[in-house]
C-alpha cells in the first residue's frame, strides 16, 4: 500500500470520530486531524485549487503531507485525495509548504523537503522539489528531485516555502531564509523550466528588527507597485503591534527584474487578529489577487484538538493597495453566493445605549454602518453571542482611532484583546463573518481586518449594537444566514463525484 493510500485510510477513520461542535460551516478545513499553512493556490482546468499542510494521522503537528480541496467558485469546496506524502529520499521527514503553477497544462507543485539530522535538537536540512499532475488530482514526484539541493553558502539551515510565478518567459522563485547570525530574509531564484534553478541573491532582508526567520514569502505586482508578503518569526511586541507569537505582514515598493533591486517602505501587519498566518495568494483569471491565510497561530490554545481536528483557513480575500500604499483586504464577491435568509435589523435610526436582536443561527454575515460625522459617542460597536458567557465584542474607540476585538469570554481568557489602528472618515462600516469557531472583521472596505478563532460554549447567538456615551446614527444594520457547505461533505478518501449541493441566495 502506498503512503498516500495509508494516509487516506487513516484520515477516513479519524473523520468518523470528529466532534462537529466547532467544525467550520464555510471555511476550508481537513476532514479530520491537523492542518496549517495554505499551499499551492492555483486555477487549473477551470477550478480553484488550494492545498494545505496536513498531518492525517493526528490532531497535532507531525510529518507534513499536502491536503487538497478544489472549487469552481471559491466558496463551495470539495475534498480531494491527499496530494503529497513524505518518505522519499527528497522529503524523508516532511513535504513542507510551497506553491503550485499551471505549466502548459501540467499542474506542478513546488515544495520543501524536510530532513531531520537531530530531531531532539530540532536540527534539519531543507531542499526544494517538484511534483506534477495532468488531471489535477494524482501527483508524481519528479525523478531528479531535489531541484534545489541546498541553500546559498551564506544561509542558515532555514530554507523553505517556495513561491513560484512566471514573468515573461522565465520562472521565478522566492524562498524564506535566514542568515547564520539570525536575520530573516527572502531570497530569489530563476529558471527556464522549473527544474534548473539559478540563484539571484537577496530580495529583502531584516535590519535586525524584523525577526530571525521570514517564512512563507509571496511576491507580486499589485496596482502598479510590488508587494512582498512574508511571516517573520521572532519579532518583539511594540505596544499594540506584533501581539501574536509570529506575524504576517508586507512591504510595498518598486522592483527591477534586471537588477533584482526591491526598494520598499516599512513593514506593516496584514491582519491584527489572534489567528492569521502564512498567507498565500493567486492571480485568478479575472485579474484579482486573492489571499488565503492559516486561521490559527503557533502555540495557541486549540480546543478542537480534543474533538479530533485542528486548524482552518481564512476566507478568500481580494487584495488591493490604496493611495498611501496600504494593503486592503476584502472577501471575494462570491461570498454572497452563501447568503440565505436576510434580516434587515435596522435602517436610518439613532442608537443610544444598546440594542439587542435574538439571532440564533451560527453561520452569519453581519453588516453595520455607523455615521460618525455628528456622533456624540465615545465608542460604538457590536457584540456577537451577547447575553451569554461567550460574548465576542468588536468595539471602535472613536477618539483613539482603534478597532478592538475582545475574545476574552469566547475562548481566549488570557490574551483576549487585539487592536487595529483605524482612522475613520465620518463612517465606520463593519462587515463581519461568523462561523462556529471563528470571526473575521473587515472594516471600512478592508482598511483594517481582525481574524480570530473563538469557541462559544452554547446559548443564544444574539447580536447587540452599542453606543457608549451619547447617541450615534446608524445608517444600516443587516444580517444574512450563510450556507453550510460541508453539510453534505464528500468522502474523505477520494474526490467527490459531484459539486456540493447549493441553493439560490436570498
The model's pLDDT over 276-323, given as tens digits with 9 standing for 90+, comes to: 999 999 999 999 999 999 999 999 999 999 999 999 999 999 999 999
Q: Are strands 33-44 and 309-310 parallel, antiparallel or unpaired?
A: parallel
List the grid coordinates of 468. 457608549
Domain boundaries in the chain? Answer: 3-331, 336-482
List the grid coordinates of 130. 517538484
What confidence tens digit (pLDDT) does each residue in 8-22 have? 999 999 999 999 999
Phi, psi of 26 (to 5 degrees): -145, 15
List the grid coordinates of 108. 506542478
Distance between CA atoms of residues 390 and 407, nearest Å: 8
Distance between CA atoms of residues 237 and 235, nearest Å: 7
Residue 488, pLDDT score: 61
What confidence tens digit (pLDDT) does each residue in 387-401 have? 778 899 999 999 999
336-482 has which fold? Jelly Rolls (2.60.120)
Distance between CA atoms of residues 399 and 278, nearest Å: 33
CATH number of 3-331: 2.115.10.20
Distance between CA atoms of residues 65 and 52, nearest Å: 8
Q: Which helix (H) or strand (E) holds 361?
A: none
Residue 461, pLDDT score: 67
Q: Model confidence at 109, in pLDDT bands (50, 70, 90)?
A: very high
Distance between CA atoms of residues 210 and 72, nearest Å: 38
Distance between CA atoms of residues 100 and 43, nearest Å: 9
Distance between CA atoms of residues 102 and 164, nearest Å: 11
Residue 1, pLDDT score: 80
List the grid coordinates of 170. 522565465
Cis preceding linkage at 146, omega within 30: yes
pTM above 0.75, yes or no: yes
The reply to whether 336-482 shares the fold of 3-331 is no
Residue 382 near residue 477 (C-beta atoms within 8 A) = no
Residue 160 near residue 138 (C-beta atoms within 8 A) = no
Distance between CA atoms of residues 393 and 454, nearest Å: 11
Q: Which helix (H) or strand (E) holds 459?
A: none
Distance between CA atoms of residues 333 and 311, nearest Å: 24
Q: Model confidence at 495, in pLDDT bands (50, 70, 90)?
A: very low
Range from 61-75, 321-335, 447-461 carrying the lowest mean pLDDT = 447-461
Residue 422 near residue 447 (C-beta atoms within 8 A) = yes
In 335-471, which ranges are continuous DSSP H helix? none
In 252-307, which ranges are continuous DSSP H helix? none
Over 70: is that where the pLDDT of 504 sits? no
Residue indicated by cell numbers 459539486: 499
* C-alpha of 369 from chain center: 26
Distance between CA atoms of residues 93 and 127, nearest Å: 12
Average pLDDT, integer, range 452-479: 92
| Ranges assigned E (strand) in 119-260 | 123-133, 140-141, 159-167, 170-178, 184-191, 198-205, 213-222, 225-233, 249-256
Over 70: is that where the pLDDT of 351 sits? yes
First to last CA, the chain: 48
Q: Which helix (H) or strand (E) holds 154?
A: none
Q: Which residues pair with 430 in a beta bridge?
A: 368, 443
Residue 387, pLDDT score: 75
Residue 14, pLDDT score: 97
Over 50: is that where the pLDDT of 416 sits? yes
List the grid coordinates of 357. 436582536
Q: Which residues pair with 219 in a beta bridge?
A: 228
Percent helix, strand, coil in the chain (nearest 5)? 5, 50, 45
Distance between CA atoms of residues 234 and 214, nearest Å: 9
Residue 174 near residue 142 (C-beta atoms within 8 A) = no
Average pLDDT, integer, range 57-68: 98
Distance between CA atoms of residues 489 and 238, nearest Å: 43
Residue 459, pLDDT score: 65
296 noted as active-site residue:
no
Q: What angle do CA 442, 425, 393 make, to 5 degrees?
A: 40
Average pLDDT, integer, range 480-494: 71
Residue 388, pLDDT score: 77
Distance between CA atoms of residues 399 and 369, nearest Å: 18
Average pLDDT, the chain: 94
Distance between CA atoms of residues 217 and 177, nearest Å: 9
Size of the chain in residues: 506
What confidence tens digit (pLDDT) does each residue in 145-196 have? 999 999 999 999 999 999 999 999 999 999 999 999 999 999 999 999 999 9
Distance between CA atoms of residues 370 and 348, nearest Å: 10
Residue 307, classed as helix, strand or coil, is helix
Q: Model confidence at 485, in pLDDT bands (50, 70, 90)?
A: very high
Amino acid at each position: 500500500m502506498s503512503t498516500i493510500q495509508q494516509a487516506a485510510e487513516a484520515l477516513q477513520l479519524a473523520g468518523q470520530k470528529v466532534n462537529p461542535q466547532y467544525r467550520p460551516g464555510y471555511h476550508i478545513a481537513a476532514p479530520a486531524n491537523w492542518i496549517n499553512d495554505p499551499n499551492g493556490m492555483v486555477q487549473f482546468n477551470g477550478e480553484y485549487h488550494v492545498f494545505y499542510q496536513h498531518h492525517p494521522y493526528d490532531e497535532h503537528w507531525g510529518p507534513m503531507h499536502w491536503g487538497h480541496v478544489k472549487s469552481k467558485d471559491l466558496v463551495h469546496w470539495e475534498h480531494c485525495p491527499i496530494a503529497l506524502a513524505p518518505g522519499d529520499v527528497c522529503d524523508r521527514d516532511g513535504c513542507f509548504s510551497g506553491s503550485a503553477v499551471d505549466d502548459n497544462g501540467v499542474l506542478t507543485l513546488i515544495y520543501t523537503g524536510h530532513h531531520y539530522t537531530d530531531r531532539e535538537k530540532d536540527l534539519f536540512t531543507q531542499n526544494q522539489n517538484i511534483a506534477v499532475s495532468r488531471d489535477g488530482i494524482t501527483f508524481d514526484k519528479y525523478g531528479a528531485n531535489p531541484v534545489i539541493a541546498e541553500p546559498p553558502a551564506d544561509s542558515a539551515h532555514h530554507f523553505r516555502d517556495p513561491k513560484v510565478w512566471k514573468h515573461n518567459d522565465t520562472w521565478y522563485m522566492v524562498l524564506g531564509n535566514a542568515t547564520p547570525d539570525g536575520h530573516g530574509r527572502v531570497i530569489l531564484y530563476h529558471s527556464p523550466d522549473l527544474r534548473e534553478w539559478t540563484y539571484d541573491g537577496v530580495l529583502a532582508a531584516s535590519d535586525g528588527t524584523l525577526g530571525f526567520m521570514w517564512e512563507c514569502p509571496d511576491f507580486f505586482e499589485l496596482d502598479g507597485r510590488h508587494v512582498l508578503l512574508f511571516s517573520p518569526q521572532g519579532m518583539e511586541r511594540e505596544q499594540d503591534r506584533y501581539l501574536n507569537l509570529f506575524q504576517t505582514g508586507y512591504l510595498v515598493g518598486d522592483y527591477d527584474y534586471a537588477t533584482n533591486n526591491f526598494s520598499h517602505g516599512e513593514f506593516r501587519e496584514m491582519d491584527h487578529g489572534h489567528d492569521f498566518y502564512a498567507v498565500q495568494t493567486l492571480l485568478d483569471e479575472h485579474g484579482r489577487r486573492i489571499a488565503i491565510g492559516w486561521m490559527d497561530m503557533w502555540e495557541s490554545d486549540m480546543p478542537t484538538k480534543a474533538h479530533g481536528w485542528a486548524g482552518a483557513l481564512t476566507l478568500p480575500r481580494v487584495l488591493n493597495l490604496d493611495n498611501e500604499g496600504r494593503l486592503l483586504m476584502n472577501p471575494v464577491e462570491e461570498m454572497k453566493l452563501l447568503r440565505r435568509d436576510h434580516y434587515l435589523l435596522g435602517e436610518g435610526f439613532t442608537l443610544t445605549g444598546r440594542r439587542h436582536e435574538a439571532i440564533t443561527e451560527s453561520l452569519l454575515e453581519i453588516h453595520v454602518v455607523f455615521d460618525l460625522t455628528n456622533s456624540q459617542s465615545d465608542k460604538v460597536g457590536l457584540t456577537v453571542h451577547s447575553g451569554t458567557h461567550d460574548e465576542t465584542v468588536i468595539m471602535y474607540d472613536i477618539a483613539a482611532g482603534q478597532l478592538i476585538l475582545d475574545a476574552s469570554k469566547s475562548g481566549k481568557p488570557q490574551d483576549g484583546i487585539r487592536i487595529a489602528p483605524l482612522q475613520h472618515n465620518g463612517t465606520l462600516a463593519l462587515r463581519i463573518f461568523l462561523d462556529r469557531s471563528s470571526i473575521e472583521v473587515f472594516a471600512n472596505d478592508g482598511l483594517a481586518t481582525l481574524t480570530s478563532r473563538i469557541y462559544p460554549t452554547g446559548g443564544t447567538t444574539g447580536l447587540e449594537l452599542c453606543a457608549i456615551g451619547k447617541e450615534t446614527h446608524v445608517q444600516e444594520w443587516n444580517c444574512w444566514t450563510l450556507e453550510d457547505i460541508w453539510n453534505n461533505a464528500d468522502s474523505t478518501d477520494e474526490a467527490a463525484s459531484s459539486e456540493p449541493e447549493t441553493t439560490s441566495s436570498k
